[in-house]
Structures are given as structure tokens and as C-alpha cells.
Amino acid sequence: MPQQPPEPVAVTGLGVIGACGRGVAAMDRALREGREGVGALSLWQSSVGDFPVGQYRGELDSDLDSVPGLTPHLRKRLSRSDALTLVAAAEAVEQAGLGDLAAAGAYVGQSVCGTLTSEALYIEARSRAKVGNPEKVDLRGAFVHEGANTLDRLAEAWGLRGPTLSFMTACSSAANAIGLAADAIRAGRCKSMLAGGADSLSRIAFNGFCSLKVVSPDGPRPFDRERQGMMVGEGAGMLVLEDLRHAKARGAKILALLTGYGHSCDAHHLTASHPEGKGAVAAMREALEMAGLQPADIGYINAHGTATLDNDRTEARAISSVFGESAVPVSSTKRFFGHTLAAAGGVEAVVSVWALRHRLLPANLGLRAPLEDAKLDLVSENRPAPGLKHVLSNSFGFGGNNAALVFTEAK
């Protein structure tokens, strides 16, 4: 006997910040206008600064005014990643209309965390040492280095007393945080959760990807035959998830349902994914099974689609394996935001819910000549989808750590 799908979890709040600007409204404009997030690096001087990034251009200090309970003392203990998280979370919480979050928890996907601040401290210490300056560097800023700092600041701002965890599974971190937060709600550990991911730009991440020669000089072109690589980005995507009955009882506006989640590991290579995408296939099938859906039920896939040679080839093959060739519309939104690393699954979860609510599929910007490794129905420009009911969001990380989420329309 087939198992009954588990109870869906309600999505009642969305928050996003990144290269497209601050907030879902800014993201909406960018997606509709096809306005890419490709731009020059300005956070620091770099010898490889000619490579574009997906940088947030707004004023984070003033953006933080939207966060409740953020005292001047707490502001001093924030990394750039912390600030991005708090701003996105504030938008999601406001939309959800949850008055009391004392029993709520937070699961956040991260990787860079406070590295940008730690790098600045290191640079300052080295510069003083070179000139023989004996003055000690104030290392209190290093307190923001760990991902736990983000969770502490979230808990302080909203008085969270539920479970809080930081997930670091590379580029699948935020998707895993969302999927596992939904599991925590289904298990009865809490009625509501903040879930998503955040990462800021940092020298070590940016320089590292440049040294691997996987960064494109003109921005990413996902699933294009002539793709040259990724674009490192920064941002945050946060969701408010709730027990469905709890959300209905308080009269919340339910934006979408999280119905499926799959998580797998390729067990193939330390950094490379399996060439045939075996782990990605397993994650997508597990997400479909949890949602009680068949491949034909999915009306759109928001692909991981980093525009690197291997990732796009592998993901295309995996999608074709599960859904058949050209059976479902596919696009990657990496040229809008850049690859936001651990935040990617959170940002793209917001995009997926946006697609469901507006019955509109976002364009795969930068596409000129579709890849030939596997035939996909690539969305080259915004496409109306009047019958859209289910969306799959893929997030695949280093070493083949794979996560897939299924979002379903709220009836």
C-alpha cells in the first residue's frame, strides 16, 4: 500500500534581499523586467575585480531599522551575513502577521557567515605588523564569525525560544534548512519556524571561485552551450513556515504549501557531483514521493543552474532522467542574483512561491544557445503559466549534497 503523503506545511511569509534589491517587491520588478543582477565588486579592492558579482547595493545599516528589538549594542555585533538574514526575516515575519514568536524556532543555511569581518581583522593585524605598530587589534569583531551568531541575533530580535540550528551543506544549505524546518513542524516540535539561508560576499569565497576558474567574465549563462561559469552573489531568502492547522486557525494568508522535500548525497567526489546526477535524481524523486506527485504534475522547475560546465550538464541529465526530455519548463535565476551560495535555496524558494502566486515562469537570462547534453524546455523569456499548481526547486552543493523542495498552490 502506498503511504499517505504527510501533512503539508503552510508558507505564510516571504523575505528576500540581494542583487535585485531589498524585498519581494524589488524582486518582482526585476523578474518581470528581466533586470539582471550582474555588477562590479565594490565591497573591497581586488586584483580580480573585473569579474562581476551579484552584490547587494542598498544601505544595510538603514535597512536594519525594519528589525524589531535591534538595539545599538546588538547592531555592533552583526556581520554582513547576519544583517542580510535579519532584514529578510523581518519582511517575512511582517507579512506572516505572527504577533508572538516565543514558541517559534529558526533553521538557517549558511557557509560564509562572518568571514568578511574576520578578513578585515586579519588585514588590519597584518598591516600593523608590517609597519611595526605594537597596538593590539580589537578582536571582538571576530565574535560574529560563526553561524551561531546569526541564530542568536534572530532569537534576540524576535524572542525565539524554539529550536535553532545552522546548516552548512554548501549550496544546498538553505533548501535543507527549509525542508528540515518543515519536518520539525510536522513532528510537533513547534507550530512555526523561520527558515531559509544567507551568505555575504567575502574575499576568500570570491577569490577561491576565481582561482578554480569557474567564474564567468560576463556573468552566468545557465544551460547555454557557451556558458563560461558562475557569478558569486550574496543575499538572503527567508520563509515563515507554519503548521497548516495553526495557520488556518489564526486566519493567516497562506501563500503556498510546502509539500515535498528530498535530500541525498552522491557519495562520488569531494567537490564534483556524479556525472549522471544520481544523487540529484534521488533528491527530486524523494521530494515528489513525499508530495504524493508524479513527474507530470510539476509545472515548473527552478533549477540550481550555476552556469558552470559540469553543474549544468549534470543537472540537465538528472532532470531529463526524472521528467523526460522537454517535459517540464525549466529556468535558473542565477543571472538575477548570482550564486548566493548557502542562501541560494532560500532565495530560490521565494522565487518559486512567486511563480506559483503569479502564474508566471521567470526567464533563464543569458540563454543564447541551449546546451545539447540533455534537451530541456528552457524558459528563455517570462512565460505565463495559468495552470501552474506545483513547482520544484533544486539546490545542489559541492560533493553532490542535493536538496529538492516542492511548493504547491494554496487553495
Catalytically annotated residues: 171, 304, 339
Of 197, 198, 215, nearest in space to 206 by CA = 215
Of 19, 17, 159, nearest in space to 85 by CA = 17
* DSSP 8-state symbol, 142: G
Question: CB of 290 within 8 A of CB of 260?
Answer: yes
The C-alpha angle 213, 36, 398, rounded to 5 degrees, equals: 40
Residue with cell 534581499: 17
* Torsional class of 55: left (φ above 0), alpha (ψ -120 to 50), beta (otherwise): beta
* Torsional class of 156: left (φ above 0), alpha (ψ -120 to 50), beta (otherwise): alpha
On the 0-12 / 13-18 / 19+ scale of CB atoms within 10 A, 268 is middle
Crossing angle of the two packed helices 309-323 and 278-291, in degrees rounded to 10? 40
DSSP string computed for 331-371:
E--HHHH-B-GGGHHHHHHHHHHHHHHHTEEPP-TT-SSB-
Sign of CA dihedral 50, 52, 53, 55: positive
